[in-house]
């Protein structure tokens, strides 16, 4: 599948925003899935489709760790890190999402509401 331009708007759901914010906390650090789950406050079944979409878009790079699961006593971990384009795209996308959220905030008395 072709990689998207980092300036192309990505579907910015709230879970996607939480994953991007978690990855942007330390953009040069690799994180594995459960670390991202904990940082974003989301379940594994929620973050993995998001991570796959970000990787397809070229915003994320990943690799499997090179360990023997039997020796480690746990499954291998897949590590994720934002690409250079991903850092730029994530920051721009989150800035747009924040601006949109701020623009949509209701003010007292707006939307036909009653000010008490």
Q: Could you tell me the pTM of the whole model?
A: 0.79
Query: CA 25 to CA 36: how far, in whole Å?
Result: 11
The pLDDT of residue 38 is above 60: yes
Residue 62: inside a domain: yes
Residue 40: inside a domain: yes
At 75-104, the pLDDT tens digits run: 999 999 999 999 999 999 999 888 877 766
- Structural domain for 25, as ranges: 14-104
Instruction: Give the pLDDT band (50/70/90) at residue 42.
Output: very high
Residue 21: inside a domain: yes
Alpha helices (H) along the chain: 14-25, 33-40, 44-56, 69-72, 84-104
Which two structure tokens, joined as six digits, stand for 43? 């379940």
Query: CA 7 to CA 87: how far, in whole Å?
Result: 11
């Amino acid at each position: 599948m072709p990689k998207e331009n980092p300036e192309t708007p990505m579907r910015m759901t709230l879970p996607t925003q939480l994953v991007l914010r978690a990855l942007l906390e330390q953009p040069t650090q690799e994180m594995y899935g459960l670390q991202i789950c904990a940082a974003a406050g989301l379940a594994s079944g929620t973050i993995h489709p998001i991570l796959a979409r970000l990787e397809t878009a070229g915003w994320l790079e990943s690799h499997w760790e090179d360990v023997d699961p039997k020796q480690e006593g746990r499954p291998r971990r897949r590590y994720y890190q934002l690409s250079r384009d991903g850092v730029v795209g994530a920051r721009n996308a989150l800035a747009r999402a924040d601006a949109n959220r701020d623009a949509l905030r209701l003010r007292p008395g707006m939307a036909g509401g009653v000010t008490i």
